[in-house]
Amino acid sequence: MYEAGESLEHHPSSSMPGGRRWHDGLTSADVLERTSAGRINRVPGTTSRSLWEIVRANVLTLFNGIVAGCFILLLVLDQWRDALFGFSALGNSLIGIVQEYRAKKSLDRLAILHAAESKVVRDGRPQRIPADALVQDDIVLLSAGEQVSADLRLLDGGYVEVDESFLTGESEPVSKAPGAVLLSGSLIMAGSGRAAVFRAGPDTFAYKLTAEAKRFSLVTSEIRSGLDKVLRVITWLLLPTAALVANAQIQNAGGWEDALSSGRWIPGTLGLVASIISMIPLGLVLLTSVAFAVGGVRLAGHMVLVQELAAVEVLARVDVLCLDKTGTLSSGSIKFDDVHDAGTPPAEGWRRALEWFGANEEASTTTKSIGAAFPAGDLLPAAASVPFTSARKWSAVTFPPGSGAPGTWVLGAPDAVLAGSSRRAGAHRLAAALASTGLRTLALAHMPGSLPGSVPEWGESGRLPPELVPVVLLTFREDIRKDAHKTLAYFRQQGVAVKIISGDDPRTVAVLAREVGFGQGAAYDARNLPADPVLLEKTMEDHHVFGSVTPAQKRDMVQALKRRGHTVAMTGDGVNDVLALKDADLGIAMDTASPATKAVARLVLLDGRFDRLPAVVAEGRRAISNIERVSMVFLSKTVYITLTSLAFALLLLPFPFLPRQLSVLDGLTIGLPAFFLALQPSAQRYAPGFLKRSLVFSVPAGMCAALCVLAVAAYARLGGQHGAGAVQSATIISLALIAAWILVMASRPLNWIKTLILAGMYGGLVLLFTVPPVKDFFRLDWPPPDLLAASVIVAVAGSLAIEGIGRFQRRLTGGQGMAGGK
């Protein structure tokens, strides 16, 4: 394993084959030779789960194994009519596989279309290629914002600042001079140059460090962790409950010896299987996976790439949205406005200096607009230069004597270029006045000769000498996105706090903030941010617009909000947003973002439309809010079946349902309706505490339903001579009406689609007892009038009690829950 910062002077691959010069790059024949030899930058790994992993996750589970065992047992015993649950479980697994595979195909296709690229020199000319098409000895052209995709050696004439935090955890950029190693996974924060690939694919430092590079992973999901806890409890309850139910069934068949010898244990097995199968909330696990997968597919339809499917849950929990100004609220396009006299006689050659800055290949959007206003004809050769960094906020170039613009020229933010000297105070005040009008302002200053020290020392210190004289001030305009005001208004209505965090001058940021509805207040100058973490948290709570924010401060501000208990989403498109995007609960990158920014984001807005964000948030809320509602229905069923099984087993009574009866009941009152309800719109913001809210409703509601079933069975046994079929029909009617009411509560507020789904459920329940082939198959019939009246009365009483439980649950959980939900 190589170490960060090692030299390559003695590596064989550091010399160009065939005696060619490095800047010529490889030929097509060279690339073909290296590709054939496997010296290509391709590593094992996928952007999402493979088809086998999807099948394994949806099929090879403990509960599916139990279902399969029960299914095979009933087929062996020739009780196929009661094995319908097997087909239901198979259908659930197939739906899960198909939905997630469709999501995988969509996400993989988008990931391929928007994969990171590298700029290389091949056949003597620059060209862009996919990062995995790099081969050993390729010449890579580096600039700010690029992600290093293979292990490189920086060649002569290059100087870059690199963020190696992905590999070392050190967030401070590291200066790299010619001959230094650039490791795959690091980010170019500033500078430019050429570098040679000397290790590619599985041989790279990053691959050896991580063993396997996979971009698919699961974010922390409270929904999934809560369901895992529930499933672990059910697993522990399943075996003892099954043992008690088996004993009760055999005792009712005449005892163990008589039942085994006479064959009467076979009908008793049906009750045991019905009890075991109904305790398992298979559909809930399926619907959770489907909701995440469908969320990813729907967001793909909105041109939003979901890097991790469970990020839709984070979307639903977001209560603070931090926005970078440029590229998010503004379109990112900068237009040159005007040149302003800085108050001192202009030095000769300032136009030629601006031509150089505008033509520089690492020029930013702002300096490129200078290039459009001052097109370069015969570009002056530079004796030395200092690249721009967001931390330093200026760049510089030195031209030799007699060049037409002799001396050193510094271009950058007025606060960085003009501060610290009384001779620059007048220009500094003028720059402040221009910035207060909403114009972006840059200062151009000049000094004879060159800056003291060498180029690397300039990059490290960032200090400017007092003899630097202001020459001109340049102003620029940026367009605000037409959808910005409307989009921000949506977030405010949804209870999401919006904060602008920008590196621009606070006065400029304040003007833009006023135009998008932030009021007349001034922007907070981040240079005055308190160092104390507690004070920083309070400052973040009290203010919403910040200017002059450094990349490190953006990260600190996000962390401060998270310490306050907020779920933070951060949008951005620049390299200076990377640190904050990495630490935010949800990083959202724009389409114009650098490869580094896209790499750390959970979501990428592929068409760069800021107005996509409301749909993104709405999709997350829809998915998670509906999962929570549906989970209460499924968990209620698990509770009432478990308690019914234990109660009848302890009383040595036969289990009151056949497997086929519970299968059709589950399908009509839970499975099919819940599947459609899980895909319905929902605007309710998710709040932490999913498992608590679910259990606060599900446990008492399940207990109530179990008591109702027990009451009907007790009446049937004590109040008259009713056969086993009549008892089964009466208990099914009572349980069906209660389960249907739980579903009605989960569906509120009702709309025409939900009403249609519920009407179909009730219609299906009526058909079970009226259509001869159906009622014969499921062994259901209308019970005697007294038993029918008792089952309906008990069901109505139980439904009213569960209604009260739902209302109590909403009060207890602060409005989040079942009855009357939004």
Q: Which residues are catalytic?
A: 324
* Owner of token pair 């369901």: 227
Residue 780 and residue 725: Cα distance in Å, rounded? 7
Closest CA to 441 of 388, 518, 506, 371: 506
User: Which of left, alpha, beta for 482 (phi over 0: left; psi -120 to 50: alpha)?
Assistant: alpha
Please say whether the beta carbons of 205 and 8 come within 8 A: no
Crossing angle for the helix pair 84-113 and 282-301, nearest 10 degrees? 30
In eight-state DSSP terms, residue 178 is T
Please say whether the beta carbons of 376 and 359 come within 8 A: yes
Please say whether the beta carbons of 415 and 393 come within 8 A: yes
Closest CA to 721 of 793, 629, 783: 783
The token pair at 693 is 């809210």
15 CB-contact burial (10 Å; exposed 0-12 / middle 13-18 / buried 19+) = exposed
Q: Is 488 helix (H, G, I), strand (E, B) or coil?
A: helix
Residue 405 and residue 16: Cα distance in Å, rounded? 37
Alpha-helical regions (H) of 302-424: 311-317, 350-359, 365-373, 414-417
231 CB-contact burial (10 Å; exposed 0-12 / middle 13-18 / buried 19+) = middle
Residue 151 and residue 148: Cα distance in Å, rounded? 7
Cβ within 8 Å of residue 722, ≥6 positions away: 716, 730, 783, 784, 787
In eight-state DSSP terms, residue 575 is G
The token pair at 803 is 């209604």
Please say whether the beta carbons of 228 and 692 come within 8 A: no
Closest CA to 671 of 543, 771, 605, 760: 760
The token pair at 332 is 């990112």
Please say whether the beta carbons of 184 and 205 come within 8 A: yes
Helices (H) and strands (E) counted in the chain, each on its own, are 30, 22
Please say whether the beta carbons of 153 and 196 come within 8 A: yes
Residue 663 and residue 676: Cα distance in Å, rounded? 18
Closest CA to 424 of 438, 439, 405, 410: 410
In eight-state DSSP terms, residue 362 is T
Cβ within 8 Å of residue 596, ≥6 positions away: 145, 146, 147, 163, 187, 188, 575, 578
* Owner of token pair 């208004």: 489
The token pair at 57 is 């996750």
Start-to-end CA distance of the chain, whole Å, equals 56
Q: Is 529 helix (H, G, I), strand (E, B) or coil?
A: coil
